[in-house]
Amino acid sequence: MTLPTHAQIVVIGGGIIGCSTAYHLARDHKADVVLLEQGKLSCGSTWHAAGLVGQLRASASITRVLKYSVELYKALEAETGLATGWKMTGCLRLATTPDRWTEFKRLATTARSFGMDMHLISPDEVRRMWPLMETADLIGASWLPTDGQASPSDITQSLARGARMHGAKLHEDVRVTGFGMKAGRITTVQTTKGSIACDKVVNCAGQWARQVGALVGVSVPLQPVKHQYIITDKLDGLAADAPTIRDPDRRTYFKEEVGGLVMGGYEPNPQAWIPDAPGGDVPDDWAFRLFDDDFDHFEQHMVQAIARVPALANAGVKQMINGAESFTPDGNFILGAAPECANMFVGAGFNAFGIASAGGAGWVLAQWVVDGEAPLDLWVVDLSRFSDLHRDRRWVYDRTLEAYGKHYTIGFPHEEYASGRPRIVSPLYERLKAHNAVFGSKLGWERPNWFAPPGVAPVDVYSMGRQNWFGPVGEEHRHVRESVGIFDQSSFAKYELTGPDALKALDWICANDVAKSAGRLTYTQLLNTRGGIEADLTVARLAEEKFYIVTGTGFRTHDFGWIRDHIGDDLQARLADVTEAFGTLSLMGPKARHVLAAVTDADVSNAAFPFGHVRQIAIAGHAVRALRVTYVGELGWELHVPIGATGEVFDALMAAGRPHGIRPVGYRALDSLRLEKGYRAWGADITPNDTPFEAGLGWAVKLRKNVDFAGRQALEKLNAAPPAKRLAAFTTADPDVVLVGRETILRNGEPVGYLTSGGYGYTLGTAIGYGYVRNPGGVSDDFLSGGDYELVVAMERTPARLHLEPLYDPAGRKVRS
């Protein structure tokens, strides 16, 4: 087949992800699609994948993506005539420790929150379902009957045939060698068989995706890791429809195959490909190839597997598969638009979940390519969750191996990664260490999560209940409520937008009204075409043609790209990232004004410096941008300091605050404080799936102003009827309940939603959660107030109370009952 000279969309990579993306582009969007595979279809990692298909993830959107995969695999053979090998065997996950059992109870609650029926069963029931299994050490197991297994190569060929049936052109033995570029966009794809002019490119090149992206300066942070499994001879007594098994406490998995078992695992000491050269590349000719068997390294899995299935001790091994699969630094796969190139999209790094994810990933990625924005809240897999840090191959290598080793470990709440740290530190790092700071890491930045009091080791001790920082964080919380604390938030992402058309650009981009005089702040959302919240940030107008924008640490790449991409091409407005130019000290608490007044000659009275304003003031001889804003529900300022002066300003504040007992405070207390005040967290309480009206943020939308803005049309249509869901706060009658999010909300005994975030309010003395109450007929105030509420926490019901107003009122210094 002759290579075409032009295509609307070129998909690079003929594995299961590339074929799924091409299939959905052709089927759903009638796009002119050309797929290029440097070898043969499925020849990279797809052909040797184990083929387990699980569906449940912590994200509702990603769970929906995986559920779509299952539905697609069920129906694909009828469409294409090629079998996929799909078997809905169900999946058993085994628990041998109390913490693991608690984790499974929470997972079962999450599953039911997402409309999936996961059961918790006894060891005896496990033994009846899987007679060859040793169950004496089990506490129990979770059982998800709709999980299963499939043949990766068969699915790929079926998707490929479906893509061709819908008009896509698939070309094998064509390697991409480069790209023609113009004004930051790909214009041609250069290959070993000629060039193809195109409008968009989708990089689904698997373990080569990093190398393909690098050809146009796009960072795709993944690392190939050797993953081994064995295929045994037939085992007597093993049923053909035996459930797949995940035995995470023994770090192994099993599935039936032709009367025998496929068995593999995730070891804590993984082997990366090219381990001595993290800067090396995957060879172009690595097709249908495996590494040599490594039974010495695999022995740790064999020992655990035989203890679980004793019959394995006498089973013959037909084959060992030792192949490379792409893993990422956080264990989540990669989808979405490349921040560095206007028309490249990526689908790669599937962390051994490629078969389970492929159907749904191709569906949403195709929609993303066509529309230019994600069709769902896909933040946890969005390529823009990464930053320049992830261009460091050594760092990605180390963190990815740690993530691989955690594949089957217990997912403790608030657990931090340890590798590659410290990487980015604020000027206060050593000072905060001297105060016994316990740091967490966010996009490479070290940030104090809490401060250990004297006699307490400054280290996290993880558990499924209240962790060792619960008491110290409570003291930090109370101190901010009663006196004054200082937060190091230097990791905030910060941008400046300047130029004659800066206001015009922001007026279109922002949902709230930013057309205010210099010296004013605006809290605003940025909306997608569905009216969903793509970003949540603060805009400070410093001068007529200069705006200062502050957003969350982890959203640096995403929010910068969103703003940049929505500035009209004809506008004179320049966006610059100035994150490292400023440290940020948040001075918060009822005594904050006393402290600030003691270190500056500026008038910081309420009359001279009201809420929602920005002033330049001098502290310790340095010009500081002071923003009167709070995320804790107390009087306070964010002080944006020239980065080199951060230490001096911190010292001045600490000295001036000594009479008031000032102390540094961490992010765990910050989260508790914001929960009481009702402030939303982007990525949890507000996402691209949620509109400002649903989130209770309609007051921050300029619909009454006669000006167009991104998302306005969608909001006007939605505003005509009561929303089908609304965010509310919940408190529990039992103060000892631990809420972490994804707990099911029951109204009059029926599920109506789930918590998006949870924690503890120390001022209230009870757990607090936020979540959307859903009702297809609309969620009115009467509907909300007319129900009795419970939360399902780790499969146990607990009475709860719904609240629509902030739980804490700083003006009256009171807690709402």
Question: What pLDDT is stored for residue 735 in this prediction?
Answer: 87
From residue 133, give the alpha-carbon distance in Å to each of 145, 290, 307. 18, 30, 9
**DSSP labels, 590-612:** TTHHHHHHHH-SS--STTTS-TT
For all residues of the chain together, what is the average pLDDT?
A: 96
If asked whether residues 804 and 729 sit together in one domain, one would say yes
How is residue 440 written in tokens? 């967490």
Question: What is the pLDDT, as a whole number, of residue 160?
Answer: 98
At 111 the pLDDT is 93
Give the C-alpha separation, 745 to 494, whole Å: 37
Residue in 241, 211, 238 with CA at minimum distance from that of residue 224: 211
Contact 79, 162 (CB under 8 A): yes
Q: What is the mean pLDDT of residues 788-795?
A: 97
Which tens digits make up the pLDDT trace of 470-489? 999 999 999 999 999 999 99
* Residue 277 within a domain: yes
**SS3 (DSSP) at 202:** strand
Name residues whose C-beta falls within 8 Å of residue 439's C-beta, 6 or more positions apart in sequence.
421, 422, 432, 446, 447, 448, 449
Contact in structure between 321 and 33 (CB atoms under 8 Å): no
**Going by C-beta distance under 8 Å and a sequence separation of 6 or more, which residues neighbour residue 764?**
676, 731, 807, 808, 815
Domain count of the fold of the chain: 3
Together in a domain, 103 and 176: no
Q: Are 714 and 531 in contact (CB under 8 A)?
A: yes
Q: What is the CATH number of the domain that holds 373?
A: 3.50.50.60
Q: Is the pLDDT of residue 129 over 60?
A: yes
Q: Is residue 792 within 8 Å of 746, Cβ to Cβ?
A: yes
If asked whether residues 27 and 139 sit together in one domain, one would say no
Residue 594 lies in a domain: no
What single DSSP character describes residue 291? Answer: P
Among residues 364, 385, 406, which one ends one of the domains? 385
**Which pTM was predicted?**
0.96
Q: Which of 344, 366, 385 is the last residue of a domain?
A: 385
DSSP class of 408:
T
Verify that 764 and 807 share a domain, yes or no. Answer: yes
Query: Are 12 and 69 in a shared domain?
Result: yes
Residue 807 maps to which CATH number?
Answer: 2.40.30.110
Burial tier of 145 (Cβ tally within 10 Å: 0-12, 13-18, 19+) = middle
CB 727 within 8 A of CB 771: yes
Whether residue 65 sits in one domain with residue 10: yes
Query: What are the tens digits of pLDDT across the range 56-70?
Result: 988 999 999 999 999
Say whether both 190 and 208 belong to one domain: yes
Q: Please report, for residues 241, 657, 808, the alpha-carbon distance to residue 472 in angstroms, rounded to integers and kept in the order given.
A: 51, 20, 21
DSSP character string of 357-376? HHHHHHHHHHHHHHHSS-SS
For residues 235 and 315, state if they share a domain: yes
What DSSP character marks residue 435? T
Closest to 242 (Cα-Cα) out of 336, 364, 319, 129: 129
Same domain, 796 and 726: yes
CB burial class (10 A; 0-12, 13-18, 19+) of residue 306? middle
Task: In whole angstroms, give the CA distance from residue 115 to residue 104.
Answer: 16
Phi and psi torsions of 654, nearest 5°: -65, -40
**Predicted pLDDT at 248:** 97
DSSP 481: H
pLDDT computed for residue 800 by the predictor = 97
What digits encode the pLDDT tens for the residues 649-703?
A: 999 999 999 999 999 999 999 999 999 999 999 999 999 999 999 999 999 999 9
CB-CB contact of 10 with 189 (8 Å): yes
Q: Is residue 465 part of a domain?
A: no
Instruction: Report the pLDDT value the prediction gives residue 265, as an integer from 0 to 100.
Output: 97
For the beta carbon of residue 32, count every other beta carbon within 10 angstroms. Answer: 18
Residue 224's pLDDT band (cuts 50, 70, 90)? very high
Q: Give residues with Cβ within 8 angstroms of 392, minimum separation 6.
A: none
Using a 10 angstrom Cβ sphere, with 0-12 exposed, 13-18 middle and 19 or more buried, the burial of residue 459 is exposed
Q: Other C-beta atoms within 10 Å of 799: how many?
A: 14
Query: How far apart (Å, rounded) are the C-alpha atoms in residues 703 and 513?
Result: 9
Contact in structure between 164 and 88 (CB atoms under 8 Å) = no
Distance CA 296, CA 290 (A): 17
- Return all residues near 802 (Cβ < 8 A) that are at least 6 apart: 728, 729, 730, 773, 784, 785, 787, 789
SS3 content of the chain, % helix, strand, coil (to 5): 30, 30, 40
Mean pLDDT in residue range 30-41:
97
- The C-alpha atoms of residue 358 and residue 20 are separated, in whole angstroms, by 6
Structure confidence at residue 728 as a pLDDT band (50, 70, 90): very high
Tokens of 399: 């963190």
Is the pLDDT score of 813 beyond 60? no
pLDDT beyond 60 at 812 = no
Please indicate, yes or no, whether residues 47 and 187 belong to a single structural domain of this protein.
yes
Query: What does the block give as tokens for 354?
Result: 């490629």
**Within a domain: residue 769?**
yes
**Residue whose structure tokens are 């504040």:** 653
Nearest Cα neighbor of 111 from 173, 58, 66 is 58
For residues 56 and 58, give the distance between their C-alpha atoms in angstroms, rounded to a whole number.
7
Q: How far apart are CA 105 and CA 119, in angstroms?
A: 9
- Taking phi over 0 as left and psi of -120 to 50 as alpha, with beta for the rest, 274 belongs to left
- Domain limits at 61? 6-85+150-223+330-385
Q: Is 684 exposed, middle or buried (0-12, 13-18, 19+ CB in 10 A)?
A: middle
Contact between 169 and 3 under an 8 Å Cβ cutoff? The reply is no
641 assigned to some structural domain: no
Does 776 have pLDDT greater than 90?
Answer: yes
Per-residue pLDDT band at 278 (split at 50, 70, 90): confident
Domain CATH code at residue 112? 3.30.9.10
Question: Are 168 and 199 within one domain?
Answer: yes
Please name the residues in contact with 537: beta carbons below 8 A apart, sequence gap of 6 or more: 523, 524, 526, 549, 550, 551, 552, 559
∠ CA 53-54-60 to the nearest 5 degrees?
Answer: 135
392 lies in a domain? no
Three-class secondary structure of residue 567 per DSSP: coil
Are residue 369 and residue 238 in the same domain, yes or no? Answer: no
Q: Which of 612, 500, 614 has its CA nearest to residue 548?
A: 614
Alpha-carbon torsion (478, 481, 482, 486), positive or negative = positive
For 306, phi then psi, to 5°, come to -70, -35
Q: Spell out the residues 6+ positions from residue 80 whose beta carbon is closer than 8 angstroms to its own.
A: 158, 159, 161, 162, 165
Q: What is the pLDDT of residues 509-568, one digit of tens each?
A: 999 999 999 999 999 999 999 999 999 999 999 999 999 999 999 999 999 999 999 999
In a domain, 313, yes or no: yes
Quick check: is 540 in a domain?
no
Structure tokens at 125: 């029931």
Question: Is the CA virtual torsion 14, 353, 56, 157 positive or negative?
Answer: positive
In this structure, the strands spanning 176-182 and 194-203 are unpaired
For residues 614 and 623, give the distance between their C-alpha atoms in angstroms, rounded to a whole number. 13
Percent of the chain with pLDDT strictly greater than 90: 96
Residues 709-741 as b/e (b if ≥16 CB within 10 A, e otherwise) read bbbbebbeebbeeebebbbbbbbbeeeebbbbb
- Checking DSSP bridges between strand 445-451 and strand 437-442, what pairing results, if any? antiparallel
Tokens for 551? 């957003």
